[in-house]
Amino acid sequence: MTPLLDVRHVEVSYDGTPAVHDVSFQMDPGEILGIVGESGSGKSTVVKAAMGLLGNSGAVTRGDIYYKGENVVDGGDDKLRKMRGPSMGMIFQNTEASLCPIRTVGDQLYESVSQHEKVSRKEVRERALGFFDKMSLADGERILDSYPFELSGGMNQRVGIMMAMILHPDLLFADEPTSALDVTVQAQVVKEMMEMRDLYGTAIVLVTHNMGVVEYMADKIAVMYRGDLVEYGKTEDIIHHPQEGYTKELLGAVLRIHRD
């Protein structure tokens, strides 16, 4: 079976300076991979490289990234644009900042969907409402008619998830999707993301600082440190039997609550 995403010995440089060296991992359909590590360790860079979003100063300088057997690195902008959205979705830490402040959520959702499909506003609206229904959010109508600043942080993140998931991508990149949220809201959003995976079989690359969330969600974990992938394996192996010094330090620094 061809892996869904195959990252092979990738090096990414910004303005000639390598930020990520020799990173390799594979993902199967429906798999959740957690990428953990401190700020500046290259977590987000790996995600950006896979989506072709490195910008002008960054480039994959060594290795290749294959998505469903096709090379993303040499793909060219047109091919990537067709992939991003219907095939690969993305959720950011602060959805509100990635939305336009002077247009309603529903309006922007229509704009995004109509880039990839020939649909009517009504159709998009109905699909969005159906989606909110699945997330058990009662007031979908109100959310679609709201401006981003009228919604809470948790609601905006759900809008981000909905906008990414409405095209049913096979792979979802989630860069700190719950870090800005209150713990109770975070718990709900995490559960909703798991339901999405079970419902649509979406593979998820989850970039986060929160070891608790990773342990709960991920099938595999990749630990990054200063641009290197220092440890990669099944979640229970990494959590219970970390091999590398940095992984041990990271796990040792996590405070856990003692319920009994």
Partner 1 sequence: MRSCASTGIEGMEKILEVKGLKKTYHRDKNSLTAVEDVSFDVGKGECLGLVGESGCGKSTIAKIITHLTVPDAGSVRLGGQETLFLKGKRERALYRDIQMVFQDPQDSFDPRCTLGDGIMEGMRSQGMKKARAKERMYRLLEMVELDAEMAFRYPHEVSGGQCQRAAIARALAPDPQLVICDEATSALDVTVQGQIIKLLKRLRAGQGLSMLLICHDLALVQDFCDRVLVMYKGRVVEEGTPDEVIRHPREAYTRKLVDSVF
| Smallest distance, partner 1 to C-beta of residue 152, A | 9
d(CA 5, CA 172): 11
Residue 97 binds partner 1, judged by CB under 8 A: no
d(CA 71, CA 68): 8
Residue 183 binds partner 1, judged by CB under 8 A: yes
| Smallest distance, partner 1 to C-beta of residue 227, A | 15
Q: Of 118 and 256, which CB lies nearer to partner 1 in the complex structure?
A: 256
| Smallest distance, partner 1 to C-beta of residue 128, A | 26
Stretch that binds partner 1, among 121-129, 163-171, 183-191, 193-201 (CB under 8 A): 183-191
DSSP reduced 3-state for 105:
helix
Residue 215 binds partner 1, judged by CB under 8 A: yes
d(CA 227, CA 223): 10
Strand partners, 64: 8
d(CA 256, CA 236): 17
Binding residue (CB under 8 A) for partner 1 from 44, 202, 210, 235: 210
Which ranges in 92-204 belong to alpha helices (H)? 95-98, 105-114, 121-134, 140-144, 153-165, 183-200
> Side chain identity at 108, as an amino acid letter?
Q
Residue 253 binds partner 1, judged by CB under 8 A: yes
Name the CA dihedral angle for 40, 169, 93, 19, rounded to a multiple of 10 degrees.
10
Q: Of 59 and 194, which CB lies nearer to partner 1 in the complex structure?
A: 194
Residue 224 binds partner 1, judged by CB under 8 A: no
Binding residue (CB under 8 A) for partner 1 from 209, 226, 228, 239: 209
d(CA 181, CA 166): 22
Here's the x/- map for partner 1, 51-80, by CB under 8 A: it reads as: ------------------------------
d(CA 85, CA 98): 15
Residue 194 binds partner 1, judged by CB under 8 A: no
Interface residue list for partner 1 (CB under 8 A): 38-39, 153, 182-187, 190, 209-213, 215-216, 249-250, 252-260
